[in-house]
Amino acid sequence: MQEISEYFQVLRHLYGKSLILEDTSTFHPVLRFYFMDAVAHLDYTLGTMAFNFLSVKNEMAREYLRWRIDEEQKGDRPKFPGFINWLKTRDEDRYNDLPMMWRDIYDTEDPAGYRSFRIVLDPDSNAPIPARFFYDAIEELFDRNFLKTLYLDASLARLFDEYAKTC
């Protein structure tokens, strides 16, 4: 491991988060998948910046991320990217309340995406993503008000189900 970098500090911040106050088994299954997926991509991207690319930690993360490619195609999961863009046109305020990870990655007008499992905000730039982005992304994903929307009977889950029925 390199000297303790700013990215290692962000990774520690991520590992300090907990879902102990939530019952993730009652999260909407598609929203839960994409929540955990965003966390996994954060973990992997930060891991590649804080540890050697070939570290055991990064190898384990790559194995999970390879598995999730097939998992992403099951059930209503393929509808999620379309849902994000539908929400952008249907209810902009609700869209803006989503975590930036979801907005940036799945908005078809945004160049951000996952490249080789890493988060890439601008594919044309070689500049590293600022550590502040990761802190902000973590805080948004673990925001209590956002987490409340992931439950089966919550507003975001109902909106996703409404969208999924139209596809």
Identity (one letter) of the amino acid at 75? G
CA angle 21, 49, 150 (to 5 degrees): 25
CA nearest to 115, candidates 59, 139, 124, 2: 124
What pLDDT shows up at residue 3?
A: 56
Both structure tokens of 42: 């954060």
Burial class (CB in 10 A: 0-12, 13-18, 19+), 161: middle
CB 150 within 8 A of CB 25: no
CA nearest to 109, candidates 91, 88, 125: 88
Identity (one letter) of the amino acid at 65? L
Both structure tokens of 85: 């863009």
What pLDDT shows up at residue 5?
A: 87
Alpha helices of 22-154 — where are they, by DSSP H?
29-50, 56-71, 80-90, 92-96, 100-106, 131-141, 144-148
- Termini Cα distance of the chain: 47
CA nearest to 151, candidates 17, 24, 20, 21: 24
CB 134 within 8 A of CB 10: yes
**pLDDT by 10s per residue, the chain, length 167:** 445 689 999 999 999 999 999 999 999 999 999 999 999 999 999 999 999 989 999 999 999 999 999 999 999 999 999 999 999 999 999 999 999 999 999 999 999 999 999 999 999 999 999 999 999 999 999 999 999 999 999 999 999 999 999 98
pTM, whole model, 2 decimals? 0.93
CA nearest to 128, candidates 61, 55, 49: 49
